[in-house]
Structure 1
């Protein structure tokens, strides 16, 4: 309130009322800005449609299309889904306070995988899977952490003594004694590369790329990965900076 030094009680009352009205107006405007729009997506309908498309017997889309769209077989997807759901309670389908079933683990994991595989926006799958943007982002973060925690000991590691002995035996039988795997560098296109960085990330591919160095054995098992160098580097530059020979050094 703003009070003026005046002999008139009427003037004081008018100023006080005007100040209170202004404060109330500001409060309502702030509340309007803070209010979030609620969209009822019917997540159960999204789960049912997705299940019928890919996991029913028979599904709408055959296994060949599942492999093409998910970049893996359905059996591998279901293995990942069961492991992640058992490890992270966030992916277990629950009921809300009104008793309505929420999103299933299939919906959350599929949204995370599509963002990882195709690089799509968080709300890209909303109209099909019925999953909001914030939920999709949260699912992605929890999915990545769960995958590292569950599978890192088996898949995200260097070869141990048993692996080395097996790989050397196989390499020798195939005519390459002393060989553990094949090393190569791949260029991944960076479509949204900032303009100021394009010169540094552009090499022989004539477009901005990021380099991935990987070592793979005969069975396509990746034993080493080094990712992130600008595309203007060549294979020798990447090899000198990578950690592939760190233990030997």
Structure 2
């Protein structure tokens, strides 16, 4: 994105506050999952158990503990700015979504399986779904870190997309009214885009002169 050097320091703080607003970040997340749902670009469907299929003991509890230590304890390994970069939202908003998913879907509650082993937590499942959404990575890309396999990631992504649309779609996917239009126009004018109703976060911005390896790495 362009670096508007003529902005004043007060404008910078106002814009940063707007960029970090829960409503703005929730809108971006909703549109991302809605686009995924509309385009039908989900990964391979879950196939279930098969004879001769490779079974890996992933230590799900270790994956959960590592994730919580890295991002969700009082003093996490990675600071809030890195959380927002990697999850495309603030931690408070992510935790709100996790709690809402747990309260409205049995799938996202942590429970034991038939063998008595503790299953994946909502934080693991939704983190895996968010990584796929944020970076467009394969479903098994986070296996080593989150200890969650391709099939579970695919199923988590599918259920997460449907759950987010069901929980928040009526508000965040509704047509803007006069008050919404005025608010969005004011926000974008402060961003340096007067007259723009949409959001750069929700557009397909072309990285014409930027190295492809940097694509998606920076938020403004």
Question: What TM-score bracket applies, with the shorter chain setting the length?
Answer: 0.5 to 0.7
User: After superposition, what is the alpha-carbon deviation per residue over 1:23-51, rounded to whole angstroms, capped at 9, x for unaligned?
Assistant: xxxxxxxxxx9411210001001000110
- Output the CA distance in 2 between the equivalents of 1:168 and 1:55: 36
Structure 1 or 2: larger helix share?
A: 2
Aligned 1:93-242 pairs, distance under 5 A:
93-159=110-176, 163-165=177-179, 167-168=181-182, 182=197, 186-188=203-205
> What are the ranges of 5 or more consecutive residues in structure 2 without an aligned counterpart?
1-49, 210-220
User: After superposition, what is the alpha-carbon deviation per residue over 1:130-149, rounded to whole angstroms, capped at 9, x for unaligned?
Assistant: 00100000000000000000
Structure 1 or 2: larger strand share?
A: 1
The structure 1 segments of at least 4 consecutive aligned residues displaced by more than 2 Å after TM superposition are: 165-172, 179-190
When normalised by structure 2's length, the TM-score is 0.62
- Deviation, 1:64, is 1.4
User: After superposition, what is the alpha-carbon deviation per residue over 1:133-184, rounded to whole angstroms, capped at 9, x for unaligned?
Assistant: 000000000000000000011101102xxx3146459969x9xxxx995358
> What are the ranges of 5 or more consecutive residues in structure 1 without an aligned counterpart?
1-32, 191-204, 207-249
- Output the CA distance in 1 between the equivalents of 2:141 and 2:94: 20
Q: Which has the larger radius of gyration?
A: 1
CA RMSD of aligned residues (A): 2.9
Residues 140 and 183 of structure 1, relative CA distance in 2, 3 Å threshold: closer
User: After superposition, what is the alpha-carbon deviation per residue over 1:194-215, rounded to whole angstroms, capped at 9, x for unaligned?
Assistant: xxxxxxxxxxx69xxxxxxxxx
CA contact (8 A) 2:185 2:197 kept: no
CA contact (8 A) 2:64 2:146 kept: yes
- Output the CA distance in 2 between the equivalents of 1:58 and 1:170: 35
